[in-house]
Amino acid sequence: MAVNYIRKIISLYIPLTWEVTKLSILSAMEYRLSFIIQVMGMVVNDIGFVLLWLIFFKRFPSIQGWQFQDSIILLSIGTLSFSFAMITARGAIDLGKLIARGELDYYLSFPKNVLWHSVVSKTEISAIGDLFFGIIIYFFSANPSFSGLLYVLLISAMVGIILISFIILTESISFYVGSFEEAAEQMWHSLLGFSFYPQVAFHGVLKAITLTVLPAFFIAALPVRLIKDFQPGYFLLLLAFCAGITALAIAVFHNGLKKYESGNLINVKI
Amino acid sequence: MDSVNTIEILEYTKCKFLKYLEIAKINYLNNSAYLVNLISRSGIVIIRIWIFTQLYKVTYSVSGTNIIGDLTLPMVIWSLMLTQSFQIATKPMVSKLIEEEVKLGTLAYSLNKPYSYLLFNYFGFLGRTFVNNSSNLILGTVAALLLVGPINFSAKSIILGLFLLFFGYTIDFFISFTIGVSAFWIEDISAFMWIYSKGQMVLGGLILPLSLFPDSLRKIAEILPFSQLYYGAARTMVNFDWALFQKFFLTQLAWVVFFGIVSYYIFHKGIKKISINGG
């Protein structure tokens, strides 16, 4: 059952996602100036993060062993994983709104999986800027190499899947409680907020939060540790969390879909 | 005869001012109507202050000193709480609202009303910001008290800080308005909004107070507009320094005049550019 499901994902949904995303990017590129401004604007925006940590670590060179180079790795993984999630699955952020307003009907009428279709229906064009930035900034880390870049891309892809699953999970709560989109948005921003700072700073209750409700540990602290020092145990832990949260998100969505009430809206999409 | 004219002018000005005051009031009431949304948005201040407290506790302990750049750890946390509260209160950004008006075409309804579009947005911004700030500051103050305890605020530092905050918000409005009306030329202005927000984050004392900057960089940052938005007010409130206050105030005035002229000019140039399709 699970093997068939995975085989279907690899043979059908990954190529389909590629085609849908490619079409979205090509159509955005029709508005050339807007496309360039968005992508370059995001690169400039991301450089702001580097400047901030540059100033911070000039004043405080090391915080419990965490240095500027660690923040560079964190920025690289953060922007790459964010770009993977937002380029392929930007629609996930709108799920709660679609559910609360009864607007999922449009996706229900298609032959492909409802969750997949609604999630890949949008692409965040500016995230292409994050993708470029994430790759470039990696080469400013302590020991950059092309094989190392491939490894960073692999880890970032796993973190990207965790991000998408987290969004689906929180947005799907709207199926059960009516309207949860604003709270889900706050949780998403909080998760990103946690993953931005030196991870050694968190302890006590805050550390517990980063391990559970807002799993920043798995999208920031653990990936940085893995990039700096590969350990099979840590890799398996990340892989297990990635698989677990993905399975949970899919289950919560499909279970919630049984409770879905149509908004009876008639829209014509041309 | 002269006194009659003066009275008429005063009455006219009063009527005009009251109209915009009503706009501020409507925005205030509109934003305070959804209390749960308001509080949930302010919740982000608590989370950020919590993170900052842990980060700076570690940082101060590593440095082995109680005072860095004239600020103690509680002062840093209170300063960050204030700057974060002030900045979060400005959401949604004026530029975002104008961009939406341009994209949806509702700008047509706003432009033919008997008011100044610039002043309408300014007073609306002040009304929204006031209510958002109340919620942010209440929750932020509770969080700061629990996390690092109280610090000494004087009535003078609070009043003069609020004075700087008013001008800070005015600069923020003018910059955001200028970015917003640039949507008359290019429809998607998100990139400019991100860059402006990032400028606030790096040089506006939202994560790292300017007092902790290296000296040479701090001197430059203190005269840039980003530090004049909220940091000047927060710094004045947590650790009053008369010379610094005067410096902030004069710098703010210069930026208010500069961005006031720029926003007025860009708006009037842009208004000739737009074409509205009726129907």
Q: From CA B97, how far away is CA B256, in angstroms rounded? A: 21
Q: What is the pLDDT, as a whole number, of residue B175?
A: 97
For residues B132 and B31, the answer to whether their CB atoms sit within 8 Å is yes
Closest chain B C-alpha to A48 CA, distance in angstroms: 6
Interface membership of A38 toward B (CB under 8 Å)? yes
Give the residue ranges of chain B where pLDDT is below 50. Answer: 279
For A77, A118, A121, A270, B98, the CA distances from A19, given in Å and listed in that order, are: 25, 15, 11, 19, 34
Residue A223 CA to residue A53 CA, distance in Å, equals 19
Which chain B residue has its CA at the smallest distance from A65's CA?
B62
C-alpha to C-alpha distance for B138 and B107, rounded to whole angstroms: 35
Q: How far apart are CA B177 and CA B175, in angstroms?
A: 5
Given a contact cutoff of 8 angstroms between Cβ atoms, the answer to whether A48 and B203 are in contact is: no
Q: Is B72 helix (H, G, I), strand (E, B) or coil?
A: strand
Interface contact B201-A52, CB threshold 8 A: yes
- Residue B257 corresponds to which tokens in the numbers above? 């005049």
Predicted pLDDT at B32? 75
Residue with tokens 């955005």: A28
Question: CB B59 to CB A60 under 8 A?
Answer: yes
- DSSP single-letter state for residue A63: B
Q: Quick one: which of B200, B246, B198, B245 has its CA closest to B227? A: B200
CB-based contact A48:B202 (threshold 8 Å): yes
In the stretch 63-92 of chain A, residues with CB closer than 8 A to chain B read 63-64
Lowest mean pLDDT among A2-6, A83-87, B110-114, B118-122: A2-6
A241 has a pLDDT exceeding 70: yes
- The nearest alpha carbon in chain A to B207 belongs to A52
Q: Do B198 and A34 touch (CB under 8 A)?
A: no
Residue with tokens 């140039």: B269
pLDDT single digits (tens) A109-140? 888 889 999 999 999 999 999 999 999 999 99
Residue of B nearest to A37 (CA): B191
What burial class does residue A90 get, using C-beta atoms within 10 Å of its C-beta: 0-12 exposed, 13-18 middle, 19+ buried?
Answer: buried
Give the residues across from B68 on adjacent strands. B71
Q: Which residues of B touch A41 (CB under 8 A)?
A: 190-192, 194-195
Is the predicted ipTM greater than 0.90, yes or no? no
- pLDDT tens-digit series, residues A55-74: 999 888 888 889 999 999 99
- DSSP character string of A92-146: GGGHHHHHHTT-THHHHTSSS-HHHHHHHT---TTHHHHHHHHHHHHTTSSS--H
Strand segments (E) across chain B: 67-68, 71-72
Task: Please report the residues numbered 126 through 165 in chain A whose beta carbons come closer than 8 angstroms to any beta carbon of chain B.
Answer: 126
How distant is the Cα of A44 from the closest Cα of chain B, in angstroms? 7
The pLDDT of A71-99, averaged and rounded, is 95
Cβ-based contacts of B55 with chain A (< 8 Å): 63, 197-198, 201
Distance (Å, rounded) from C-alpha B251 to C-alpha B95?
24
Query: For position A85, what pLDDT does the model report?
Result: 97
Q: What is the distance in angstroms between the Cα of B4 and the nearest Cα belonging to chain A? A: 55
Print burial letters for B124-146: b (CB count within 10 Å at least 16), e (below 16).
bbbbbbbbbbbbbbebbbebbee
With CB atoms and an 8 Å threshold, state whether A55 touches B202. Answer: yes
Contact flag B198-A45 (C-beta cutoff 8 Å): yes
**What residues of chain A lie within 8 A of the CB of B190, using their CB?**
38, 41, 126
Contacts of A51 in chain B (CB under 8 A): 202
Categorize the per-residue pLDDT at A166 as very low, low, confident or very high, splitting at 50, 70 and 90.
Answer: very high
Contact call for residues B187 and A34 (beta carbons, < 8 A): yes
**What is the DSSP code (8-state) at residue B93?**
P
pLDDT of residue B278: 52
pLDDT at B263: 94
Look at B62 and A62 and tell me if their CB atoms are within 8 Å: yes
Residue A92 has pLDDT above 60, yes or no: yes
Q: Which two tokens stand for residue B146?
A: 């629990």
C-beta atoms of B214 and A37 within 8 A? no
Collapsing DSSP states into helix, strand and coil, what is residue B67? Answer: strand
Q: Is A186 within 8 Å of B188 when comparing Cβ atoms?
A: no
A252 pLDDT higher than 60? yes
pLDDT at A263 over 80: no
Report DSSP letters for B112-180, one per residue: TSSS-HHHHHHHHHHHHHHHHHHHHHHHHHHHHHHHH------HHHHHHHHHHHHHHHHHHHHHHHHHH
- Residue in this structure with the two tokens 């009876």, named with its chain if needed: A264
Q: Is A189 on the interface with B (CB under 8 A)?
A: yes
| CA nearest to B240, candidates B151, B178, B166 | B151
Render pLDDT for A178-207 as a digit per residue (tens, 0 to 9).
778 878 888 898 899 888 888 888 888 888
Dihedral-angle region of residue B64 (phi above 0 means left; psi in -120 to 50 means alpha; beta otherwise): left
Contact B239, B158 (CB under 8 A): no
Whether A5 shows a pLDDT value over 80: the answer reads: no
Of how many residues is chain B composed? 279
| Residue A1 confidence (pLDDT) | 64
Q: Which of A12-21, A126-135, A261-270 has the lowest mean pLDDT?
A: A261-270
The pLDDT value recorded for residue B279 is: 45
Chain-chain contact of A64 with B58 (C-beta, under 8 angstroms): yes
| CB–CB contact B198 A194 (8 Å) | no
CB of A74 closer than 8 Å to CB of A158:
no
3-class state of residue B31 by DSSP: helix
Per the structure block, which two tokens stand in for B82? 């204030």
Q: What is the pLDDT of residue B220?
A: 93
Nearest to B63 among A40, A44, A60 (CB): A60
> Do residue B54 and residue A51 have CB atoms under 8 angstroms apart?
no
